[in-house]
């Protein structure tokens, strides 16, 4: 396994706007070891906190972050998708980001389209939130793997090899993985396994994906105030 230093002043991530920031991460004590007790106390007066904040025990105290924007980093690790992702097997969270906004858009559009097709959704629109932070850390470099293994890890249709790879490097203590985008030729992505492997991001803009009943052919960029074709 080869380690690469990744230094991106801007690391772009697109998430659904229907998942609002969890402000509890903004308000918690600077001592992450005390969070479990503080969250349990908050649940006594607000039972919905567990649903909102997810499973904090999945993130070791040494890896937790707090303060403005912390919820954008913590949420992927406390609300783990049981179905998994490219480098996650459903047991742990992964924070995905790209060096360019268009790469993050194309990656998320692919998954949004798959969900909409499976749900047989009629034409509709989905509001998305863009967050941007920085990355300055070491990641396992997928591009350095032998060609046959690299091809399996980057298989556009199967996550079997990539999940095995992600589990192995994470269990070995990796901060995450660096890899070429599978959905945007020439794009680059990271999948971080630890909140502290990242800089805390901020909200940058909003988008709206237009599902025409077959695919997402365009999206509205509220920052530019115009429709963009895909």
Per-residue pLDDT tens over the stretch 175-213: 999 999 999 999 999 999 999 999 999 999 999 999 999
The larger pLDDT score, comparing residue 184 to residue 75, is at 184
Instruction: Tell me the C-alpha distance between 225 and 159, whole Å.
Output: 36
Q: Which residues contact 19 (CB under 8 A, 6 or more apart)?
A: 75
Say if residue 41's pLDDT is above 50.
no
Contact 174, 63 (CB under 8 A): no
Mean pLDDT of 152-181: 97
Contact 184, 77 (CB under 8 A): no
Mean pLDDT of 117-131: 95
User: In this predicted structure, what is the pLDDT of residue 39?
Assistant: 45
Number of Cβ within 10 Å of residue 22's Cβ equals 19
The larger pLDDT score, comparing residue 102 to residue 25, is at 102
User: In this predicted structure, what is the pLDDT of residue 125?
Assistant: 96
Number of Cβ within 10 Å of residue 151's Cβ equals 11
Instruction: Tell me the C-alpha distance between 49 and 32, whole Å.
Output: 17
User: In this predicted structure, what is the pLDDT of residue 28?
Assistant: 54
Q: Which residues contact 172 (CB under 8 A, 6 or more apart)?
A: 1
pTM of the model: 0.87
């Amino acid at each position: 396994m080869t380690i690469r230093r990744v230094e991106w002043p801007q690391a772009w991530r697109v998430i659904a706007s229907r998942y609002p920031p969890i402000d509890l991460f903004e308000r918690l004590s600077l001592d992450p070891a005390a969070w479990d007790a503080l969250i349990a106390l908050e649940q006594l007066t607000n039972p919905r906190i567990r649903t909102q904040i997810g499973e904090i025990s999945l993130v070791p105290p040494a890896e937790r972050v707090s303060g403005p924007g912390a919820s954008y980093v913590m949420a992927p690790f406390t609300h783990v998708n049981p179905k998994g992702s490219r480098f996650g097997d459903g047991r742990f969270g992964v924070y995905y980001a790209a060096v360019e906004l268009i790469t993050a858009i194309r990656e998320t559009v692919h998954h949004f389209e798959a969900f909409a097709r499976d749900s047989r959704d009629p034409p509709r629109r989905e509001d998305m939130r863009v967050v941007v932070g920085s990355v300055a850390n070491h990641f396992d470099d997928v591009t350095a793997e032998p060609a046959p293994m690299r091809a399996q890890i980057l298989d556009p249709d199967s996550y079997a090899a990539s999940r095995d790879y992600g589990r192995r490097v994470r269990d070995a203590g990796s901060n995450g993985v660096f890899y070429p985008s599978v959905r945007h030729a020439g794009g680059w992505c990271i999948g971080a396994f630890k909140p502290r492997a990242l800089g805390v991001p901020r909200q940058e803009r909003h988008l709206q994906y237009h599902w025409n009943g077959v695919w997402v052919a365009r999206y509205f960029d509220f920052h530019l105030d115009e429709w963009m074709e895909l």
